[in-house]
Structure 1
Amino acid sequence: PNLLPEQVTGTRIVSQGRRESDYNLIGLTDPRGNKYYWIGPQHEGELLRHDDTDYHAIGDGAVSVTPLHVDLTHEGALKSLREAFG
Structure 2
Amino acid sequence: DLSKMACMSPSHFYRTFKQELGISPVEFINNERIKLAVGLLQDPKRSIKDVYLDCGFESRSYFNRVFKTRQHLAPGEYQSKIQKSKYLD
The structure in which a higher percent of residues are strand is 1
Which structure has the bigger radius of gyration?
1
Same fold (TM over 0.5): no
The structure in which a higher percent of residues are helix is: 2
